[in-house]
Structure 1
Amino acid sequence: MPTEHSPVLSFPHPAVAQITLSNPPVNALTRPATRRLHTVLRELAVGNEIRAVVLTGERVFSAGSDISEMPSMQADGDVLARKSAFETATLDLLADLPLPTVAAIDGFALGGGLEMAMCCDLVVADAGARLGLPEIDLGVIPSSGGSMRALRRVGQARAAELVLLGEPITAETALEWGLINRVAPRGESLSVALDLAHVLARKSRSAVHANKRALALTFGEEPYEPAQRALPVFEEAFGSTDGKEGVRAFLAKQSPNFG
């Protein structure tokens, strides 16, 4: 389980902060990890020294939410109160950070892991990475606005492939679709992301923030609003018969029997 120090905040350069997801083996976004990430992001949002942020994972990026936390929430019917509302607020905080952000993906970014990456301004994935939103195979939907974040990045047709088929795509396909910005050689996503962060750190802080806001407002609404509107839809799917069957089958390492 992650400790109060995971994700880990470090400073590889005086003007660059690095957030490392560190919850082996797949860096699942558990509730303690989400609380820690929220705290780190709030600290970075109000600081004056840091000019760019890199988000990465230890060995792999992230497989998203910890499925083992879900059965008790389905039984109690309180997933919004205990998990998804705060998780969405945390990812919205990442998306709305006034600093430029770069995600560095090694291995895979799935479900909530890809949702996190899509909240960053730039995304680098290594040549062996796989990216996807497989929640449909659990009988649910992306819990933190992933459908809308994908739609903004890749458009209607390709977002539909991600959320309805649930099949991971390669880094090369993700680049072609516009889901990511760079494909790095295997194992070098962090190095490439840090190089980009150093370039961004030399830009005007106020101009970076202004440009980020202008990009977000091009869609005609605050960036967090679509994710917030999707929460009731997630709650309905999560509490459905198929949602419970999908979680049960995943934890039992079986194929789900959807009605």
Structure 2
Amino acid sequence: MRDFHALLCEMDRYPGPLVCAVRGYAVGGALEFLLHADYVVADPACMVGFPEINHGLLPAAKGMRRAVGKLGLRAAQALLYWGELCDARKALEIGAINEIAAGTDVMSRGVEVCRHLRGKDQKLFAAIKRSLNLTGQMDDASLEAVTIEDLSAYLTEGSSADARARFLSKSSRKT
């Protein structure tokens, strides 16, 4: 359990995009893994859930906290208390996955999403990801400090100035 908890912590800290492609089942620890990913593509036959309660087991507290954060308290309770699996449509509805792709396209779609996310400015991506992961654990003053620190570091980058110039040139053409 300690190693699994450490893996989930590393996923939280990893600055780049983590994209998962699911074919088949993602139950228990596999669902916890998905909930720590940035984007999840699943096939239509995918089934997800936390069946641990039916088998005398306890999910990792970090995974349960992430389930509450990503799915909401009621959806997390339903999955954890009942121990039943839900299909891809329900998983999409509650936010356990981001999209459904045809079974043969799941991996290629996952790679496509990963390439798209890797095409974003990675310093900005890392700052946004860190803030999203910390939002529920920090007070407003701490969140403000993190935002100012990240923004200060990014605004000095040449790519930041280029991105702002492109945006401003598009805006000026509209008026």
Bucket of the pairwise TM-score, normalised by the shorter protein: 0.7 to 0.9
Count of aligned residue pairs for this structure pair? 138
Q: Taking structure 2 as the reference length, what is the TM-score of the superposition?
A: 0.75
Mark the runs of 5 or more structure 1 residues left unpaired by the alignment. Answer: 1-83, 222-259
Mark the runs of 5 or more structure 2 residues left unpaired by the alignment. Answer: 139-175
Alignment match, 1:108: 25
Could you report, residue by residue, the CA deviation over 1:176-209 in whole angstroms, capped at 9, with x for unpaired residues?
A: 1111111111232211111101111111110000
- Report if aligned partners of 1:112, 1:144 keep a CA contact under 8 Å in 2: no
Alignment match, 1:218: 135
One-letter identity of the residue aligned with 2:137: G
SS in 2 for 1:124: strand
1:160 and 2:55 are equivalent in the alignment: no
CA distance in 2, matches of 1:162, 1:180: 14
TM superposition outliers: structure 1 runs of 4+ over 4 Å: none
CA distance in 1, matches of 2:54, 2:63: 15
Instruction: Indicate the structure (1 or 2) with the bigger Cα radius of gyration.
Output: 2
1:144 is displaced (CA, Å) by: 5.5
TM-align CA RMSD:
1.2
SS in 2 for 1:187: helix
Q: Taking structure 1 as the reference length, what is the TM-score of the superposition?
A: 0.51
**Greater fraction strand:** 1
1:93 and 2:10 are equivalent in the alignment: yes
SS in 1 for 2:104: coil
- Report if aligned partners of 2:12, 2:36 keep a CA contact under 8 Å in 1: yes
Correspondence for 1:188 among 105, 110, 120:
105
**Greater fraction helix:** 2
- Report if aligned partners of 1:87, 1:144 keep a CA contact under 8 Å in 2: no
Alignment match, 1:173: 90
